[in-house]
Amino acid sequence: MKIVSWNVAGIRACLKKGLKEFFVEIKADIFCIQEVKATEDQFDFRPKGYQMYLYPAHRKGYSGTLIFSRVSPLSIQYGIHDQEYDEEGRNITLEFDEFYLVNSYVPNVKRGLERMDSRMRYEEVFLKYVKELEKKKPVIICGDFNVAHQEIDIKNAKANIGNAGFTYEERNKFSQLLESGFIDTFRYFHKDTKDAYTWWSYMKGVRERNIGWRIDYFLVSKEYISKIEDSVIYKDIFGSDHCPIGLIMK
C-alpha cells in the first residue's frame, strides 16, 4: 500500500500546476491533501476508482483537508471533537482493518506568534485524540505539522530559532508526540539525511537553492513500524510551496 500526503496550498490552483498529473503518476492507494481552500462545488477533480472525503473550513478559501481513497474505510471521523479547530477542517480520520489514518493540518502560529496559545492547546487536544485511537489499533498520522523538529530539518537553523515553525515551544510539543509512542518515519529510514525538505518560501531562488524546511511528516505508532517499508519525499514535484511525501507499506 502507498499513502501520499501533500499540502497543495489551494487545490484549485494546484490542479492547474500538476496535481492531476502527479496523482495519476504516483498511483497512491490513499492520497491525503491539506490546505484545500475549497468546498466540493468549487473544484471538479474526482479521480475514477477513488472515494472522496472532504472537510472544508467554515471560512471560505481557508484551510481544509481532503482524502481520496481506493480502499473503503470502516469508519470516517471529521474533526477531533474541538470546535475551534474543527471549524477550520483540520483533521479527517479514516479507520481501516489494521490502522487508523489521520490526515492533519496543524495550525500555524503566524509570523508574530500570535496564535501560539491556540497552537499549544491544539497540540494537547490532538495528542489526547490520537492516543485514544491508539487504544483500539495502530495510528498513522500524516500532514503539514508546521514545525521543523530538529536542526537537521531546516536549512538555516541558527538564524530561525524562535521564528514561527522553529520555536522551542512547537518543537517540544512535536517531541512530546514522538515520546508518547509515535515514530517520525522519514528519520527512522533516513536518520542522517541532510537537506531533505518539504517546504520552501516563495521568495525568488529559495527552492532552486534548496533553502527549505521539513515540516510535513508521516508518523506511525511504534508497534506498526515493522509494517513500513520506506518514507519518501517527492522533492521534484512542484505546484505548491510544499512538495508531496509518501509512505510505502509492506
CA proximity to 103, closest of 247, 248, 1, 250? 247
CA proximity to 63, closest of 82, 80, 88, 86? 88
Distances (CA, A) of 79 to 35, 87, 158: 15, 8, 35
- The cell numbers describing 49, all together, are 476508482
CA proximity to 12, closest of 56, 50, 51, 49? 56
Catalytic residue, candidates 50, 55, 100, 105:
105
Catalytic residue, candidates 144, 153, 184, 216:
144
CA proximity to 3, closest of 73, 108, 74, 87? 73
Sheet strands (E) in the chain: 2-7, 30-34, 51-55, 65-69, 75-78, 91-95, 100-105, 139-144, 182-184, 199-200, 212-213, 216-221, 228-233, 245-249
The most distant pair of C-alpha atoms in the chain lies apart, rounded to whole Å, by 47
Cβ proximity of 44 and 182 under 8 Å: no
Cβ proximity of 130 and 190 under 8 Å: no
Q: Is residue 105 annotated as part of the catalytic site, yes or no?
A: yes
Q: Is residue 144 annotated as part of the catalytic site, yes or no?
A: yes
Rg (CA), the chain: 17
Return the active site residues: 105, 144
